[in-house]
Homo-oligomer: A and B are copies of this chain.
Amino acid sequence: MPAEIIDGKKISSEIKESLKEKIEDLKKGGEVPGLAAILVGDNPASQVYVNMKAKACEKVGIFSEVYRYPKELPESELLKKIDELNRKKTIHGILVQFPTPRRISEEKVILAIDPKKDVDGFHPFNVGMMLAGKPTFLPCTPLGIQELLLRSGNDPSGKHVVILGRGSLVGRPLAPMLYQKTKGANATVTVCHTGTKDLLGITKQADILVAAMGRAKFVTADMVKPGVVVIDVGTNRMEDSTTKSGYRLVGDVDFDSVSQVAKAITPVPGGVGPMTIAMLLSNTVKACEMLSTNRSAD
């Protein structure tokens, strides 16, 4: 029986609908959630992402500003802008679209953002709070994966989750998020990567397999056990002369074969991708709620 498709587009739409209601409530109280996005340089993919994020804000009623700078922007100017946005009352979330040009230190940029406005969940302070199991902004893609699992009826609690990849955006933070003793987590977690020997022996044990190593169609049907739940985080470009762009997006999972044995699987595109943006919106609303609560308490 072919796998159930975990529809990230549908689930993210539901999340956005419920955010709309929260935003309406905030607006009644005089608060409008605001997100500032900064884009340096003219990387086409980054431009697409920033535009998608701004559009998604508009749709749910989040105020957004996009600051676009030429790739020659000095690092000091970028840090000054971040500092200004840290203090700007109408802005609750700040995101800098990565990658920035090489001259600019991503570490410095991340450290410059006020952790209270760090809606990407990249600031070490927030990462540390996450690892300690304290309330904080969780990084958008791992959070989106957790939501996909929960909302598709695949609570990771008690399950063996195998994560392929230890990148800073997904594998590295996702593992501690899922092994902590909280609702929606409490999984036994194994992290595999390029240094893993006997990968097949481990992937075959997974109740839930998260593929996030960035290798097109790497996971094949013979690597998983029947009934596995598969979350495919990969977005790899593959040449395809039949499309207008000349390429198409494929995941880290060989969807055609794995979907024949899995219980459930996310497609690419339309799985994790839309969730990442929904979680960014969710974090921005949360940032606004927190600031508004703090103001009422003053």
Contact = CB atoms under 8 A, between A and B. Distances in A.
Interface in A43-92: none
A295 interface: no
A124 B128 contact: yes
Interface in A151-204: 157-158, 160, 166, 168, 172-173, 175-176, 179-181, 186-198, 201-202
A193 B181 contact: yes
Interface stretch (A23-31, A129-137, A263-271): A129-137
A166 B124 CA distance: 20
A283 interface: no
A180 B158 contact: no
Contact of A195 (B123, B125, B157): B157
A149 to B, nearest CB: 15
Interface string A84-126: 0000000000000000000000010000000000000001111
Given A127-B131, A131-B173, A193 B197 contact: no
A128 B127 CA distance: 5
**Copies per assembly:** 2
B193 A191 contact: no
Nearest to A173: B131
B197 A188 contact: yes
Nearest to A162: B190
Contacts of A188: 190-193, 195-197, 202
B192 A191 contact: no
Contacts of A158: 195-197
Nearest to A163: B179
A213 to B, nearest CB: 12
B193 A179 contact: yes
Given A124-B132, A188-B197, A190-B188, A180 B166 contact: yes
A175 B176 contact: yes
B191 A175 contact: yes
8 contacts: A123-B128, A132-B168, A158-B196, A166-B180, A166-B181, A187-B195, A188-B192, A188-B195
Interface of A: 107, 123-134, 157-158, 160, 166, 168, 172-173, 175-176, 179-181, 186-198, 201-202, 205
